[in-house]
Amino acid sequence: MSTRPPAVAGKFYSHSAAALKSQMVEWLRTPHHTASNHTLPIRALIVPHAGYMFSGNVAADAYRYLIPEAKRIRRVILIGPSHRYYFQGCAIPAADHFETPLGKIKIDTQFVEKLKEIDDIEVSDQVHALEHSLEVQLPFLQSCLHDFTLLPLLTSNVHPAIVAKLIDSLWQGDDCLLVVSSDLSHFHSYSEAQRIDRQTCTMIDNYEPTIVPEQACGSTGINTLLLLAKRRGYTLIRKALINSGDTDAGDKERVVGYVSYLVSEPQ
Res 91: pLDDT: 98
Residue ranges of the chain with per-residue pLDDT less than 70: 31-39
Res 32: pLDDT: 46
Amino acid occupying residue 37: N
Res 1: pLDDT: 81
CA distance 235 to 51: 28
- 8 A C-beta contact, residue 260 and residue 61: yes
CA distance 114 to 149: 15
157-195: pLDDT as tens digits = 999 999 999 999 999 999 999 999 999 999 999 999 999
Domains and CATH numbers, the chain: 3-264 (3.40.830.10)
Res 33: pLDDT: 47
140-165: pLDDT as tens digits = 999 999 999 999 999 999 999 999 99
